[in-house]
């Protein structure tokens, strides 16, 4: 029998779920550690183990029979990853890289040390620290961030004065805080790279992301009208970070596009919402390249296969049942690609996304084809949410 490797994926969400398709194509075998057998990924990966990613025994049990371990999220405790590594488990990305994605303080220190462009920031312990920092960067408002555990806008607070800062810092459930200058940016970008243990790396086209309340809503790929030099700078920053931090797999570098250049906002060391467009829009999807990277297989071509690709997130709305809405959406737009994550609908929860692929490269945000793709994506999502009924 042909022996293909087993990739263990910790976490049963949509990122693990979307790894299933390239694994099926390439014949790679996935093994999943999920919180529940009804998780989105558990529904589609036969070899699913139910267990707790915070429990080292569960992790050890799961890792047996896996050739390599990777992740749907960044929440596995670093000490567990180190314990697994020292007992011979291949952990990719490894804890020495992942800790920078897990801890915003460590990440900002390291990015500063390697000379990556970052906003002004400081580790803070008290409201008076925040006040001093604000004075240095031109005053309030500034941004407070919990160093650990934040995602999708959680763990981030815009504070307008000392009192608000004190209020946030009184949340003692998080281990620490950093404060950052409020960056005035024209838009948000994301530079995504894949890197293998042997050091090969590829850079995807830089995309524009549209965030609302800290949650990614839309992605335009490639970023419309982004100057070639700036795109290349963003790719080089991402490649540099991946190399310096020893990332294996996908690294997503969220960037602010400012008058003075790009600044690194956040990092993610796993397939990322800003890369869902690659399923239809790139020669090799982020999910395929993540699997290839963690297996140390040569990476696939990250180029766009279309002129412009638009992705619109589907967040839970009024409709409990997506499927009946497929009829209208598919009839209205035969080019619409719908992705559903197998999740129960809850308001605001990421339950799917839609993708539309266009022929020409948008040179600006006003490009007529881009505007049309965005309209169609938003319409589909509005209908699938139940916001509109025609």
**Contact positions vs a second copy (CB under 8 A):** 1-5, 17-18, 20-21, 23-27, 29, 43-46, 48, 202, 279, 283-284, 292, 297-301, 305-306, 320-323, 326-327, 330-331, 334-335, 337-345, 351-352, 357
* CB of 130 vs a second copy, minimal distance in Å: 43
Between 204 and 256, CB nearer to a second copy: 204
* CB of 50 vs a second copy, minimal distance in Å: 13
As given in the structure block, the two tokens for residue 1 are 């029998």
Q: How many CA atoms, within 13 angstroms, populate the side-chain half-sphere of residue 172?
A: 2
* CB of 378 vs a second copy, minimal distance in Å: 19
Between 179 and 299, CB nearer to a second copy: 299
As given in the structure block, the two tokens for residue 306 are 């279309």
Class of residue 306 by CB neighbours under 10 A (exposed 0-12, middle 13-18, buried 19+)? middle
* CB of 366 vs a second copy, minimal distance in Å: 25
Between 185 and 326, CB nearer to a second copy: 326
Between 21 and 233, CB nearer to a second copy: 21
Nearest to 183 by CA among 118, 275, 102, 248: 118
Q: What is the dihedral of CA 265, 268, 269, 272, to 10 degrees?
A: -130
* CB of 22 vs a second copy, minimal distance in Å: 9
Between 301 and 387, CB nearer to a second copy: 301
* CB of 77 vs a second copy, minimal distance in Å: 29
* CB of 286 vs a second copy, minimal distance in Å: 15
Q: Which distant-in-sequence residues (6+ apart) come within 8 Å of 244 by Cβ?
A: 110, 114
Sign of CA dihedral 112, 118, 121, 123: negative
Contact in structure between 370 and 360 (CB atoms under 8 Å): no
Q: What is the DSSP string of 72-117?
A: SSS-S-HHHHHHHHHTT--BSS-HHHHHHHH-HHHHHHHHHHTT--
Q: Which distant-in-sequence residues (6+ apart) come within 8 Å of 371 by Cβ?
A: none
Between 179 and 194, CB nearer to a second copy: 194
Strands 350-358 and 308-315: what pairing?
Answer: antiparallel
Between 29 and 104, CB nearer to a second copy: 29
């Amino acid at each position: 029998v042909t022996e293909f490797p087993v990739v263990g994926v910790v976490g049963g969400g949509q990122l693990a779920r979307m790894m299933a398709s390239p694994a099926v194509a390439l014949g790679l075998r996935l093994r999943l550690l999920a919180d529940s057998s009804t998780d989105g990924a558990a529904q589609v990966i036969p070899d699913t183990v139910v267990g707790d990613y915070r429990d080292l025994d569960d992790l050890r049990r799961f890792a047996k029979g896996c050739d390599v371990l990777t992740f749907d999220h960044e929440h596995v405790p670093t000490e567990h990853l180190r314990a697994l590594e020292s007992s011979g488990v291949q952990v990719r990305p490894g804890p020495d890289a992942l800790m920078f994605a897990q801890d915003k303080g460590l990440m900002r220190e390291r990015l500063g040390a390697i000379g990556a462009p970052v906003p002004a920031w400081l580790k803070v312990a008290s409201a008076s620290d925040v006040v001093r920092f604000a004075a240095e960067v031109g005053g309030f408002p500034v941004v407070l961030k919990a160093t650990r555990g934040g995602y999708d806008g959680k763990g981030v607070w815009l504070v307008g004065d000392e009192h608000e800062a004190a209020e946030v810092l009184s949340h003692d459930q998080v281990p620490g805080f950093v404060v950052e200058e409020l960056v005035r940016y024209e838009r948000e970008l994301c530079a995504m790279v894949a890197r293998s243990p042997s050091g090969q790396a590829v850079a995807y086209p830089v995309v524009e992301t549209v965030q609302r309340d800290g949650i990614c809503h839309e992605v335009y790929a490639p970023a419309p009208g982004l100057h070639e030099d700036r795109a290349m700078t963003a790719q080089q920053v991402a490649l540099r970070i991946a190399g310096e931090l020893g990332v294996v797999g996908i690294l997503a570098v969220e960037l602010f596009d400012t008058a003075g250049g790009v600044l690194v906002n956040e990092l993610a060391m796993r397939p990322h919402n800003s890369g869902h467009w690659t399923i239809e829009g790139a020669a090799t999807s982020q999910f395929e390249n993540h699997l290839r990277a963690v297996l140390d297989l040569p990476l696939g071509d990250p180029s766009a296969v279309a002129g412009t690709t638009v992705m619109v997130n589907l967040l839970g709305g009024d409709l409990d049942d997506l499927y009946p809405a497929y009829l209208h959406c598919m009839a209205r737009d035969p080019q619409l690609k719908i992705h559903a994550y197998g999740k129960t609908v809850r308001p605001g929860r990421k339950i799917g996304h839609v993708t539309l692929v266009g022929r020409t490269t948008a040179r600006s945000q006003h490009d007529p084809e881009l505007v049309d793709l965005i309209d169609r994506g938003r319409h589909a999502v509005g209908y699938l949410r139940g916001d509109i009924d025609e």
